[in-house]
A = this chain, B = another copy of it.
């Protein structure tokens, strides 16, 4: 039901994802009168899905606490998450209210053993392909141990999504000389290095411009900085594409040139298409929940389902649990940064 356009986009997106992955089945939760007309348009999807009528949908502007109070047990959002908990679904995908989705996911699925706080991981297009950046906005601040957990969880996600057994991991930091970096980031660097894990290759610190370069497979940071980095990059990409559009429509020659080079522009657009990397993955919970951009179109929502599909097939939750178990069995709970 969620997102700026509701079932129209969600159902069309599911239909698109089904074309790409004919082995998927869908468990849909919605208000009947809103979903029925759209479902009728996609007979194949209808055949491969079960529709559960719900009595309530969480609003996009509801506060998490309010959504939880009103929508627990009964809302479409809750029931989609609950389907994961009950093993009726491998992954829940929603374009709805992010705060409500995180609050309900935490409440319903609970955090994994050893994980204090969940993170939201984003997939970032880079010059080399794609990287994972986390946390992009689940919570503000993170101590060294939480950053270590993010590194483990991001590493497991990279192993599930990319063709690598030992993804490279970097800690986002500043390179300005006189600034020595955040204490907790330095401490996290020490923890990751000392853990010397077989599942991740620790690269060291990376700076903001390393994200787009694709210097590492996984960029680890806390939610405030991660969210601002993500939005700043999105803003810069939009700004350049706007300037490019303006420049290309300015003169006759430019317009002609644009027409000739249209294939190249399309290629660029495809490479930077934010829809292709749509989907923030909630990590650290006992189940996979994917948040699609609320403003996305069917192609973008299908991309969020694709991410969920890859995660489920590659048993992401089990991979994370396993990595955490190995790490924590080998390591005493370390002292906080204050004690260092």
Binding site for B on A (CB under 8 A): 63-64, 97-100, 102-103, 126-127, 137-141, 172, 174-179, 181-182, 207-213, 221, 223-225, 227-244, 247-248, 250-251, 253-254, 256-265, 267-268, 271-272
B247 touches A257 (CB 8 A): no
Q: Which of B126, B238, B265 makes the CB contact (< 8 A) with A247? A: B265
B243 touches A254 (CB 8 A): no
Report the copy number of this chain in the oligomer: 2
A172 touches B228 (CB 8 A): yes
Whether A236 contacts B212 in the complex (CB less than 8 A), given A177-B97, A244-B268, A247-B265, comes out as yes
B225 touches A228 (CB 8 A): yes
B224 touches A182 (CB 8 A): yes
B232 touches A179 (CB 8 A): no
**A244 neighbours in B (Cβ, 8 Å):** 244, 264, 268
Q: Supply 6 A–B pairs (Cβ within 8 Å), ascending by A.
A: A138-B176, A174-B223, A176-B227, A207-B231, A232-B233, A257-B262
A250 touches B236 (CB 8 A): no
B253 touches A261 (CB 8 A): yes
CB distance from A228 to the nearest CB of B (A): 4
Q: A103, A174, A232, A256: which has the most chain B beta carbons within 10 Å?
A: A232
CB distance from A107 to the nearest CB of B (A): 12
A239 touches B176 (CB 8 A): no
A177 touches B64 (CB 8 A): yes
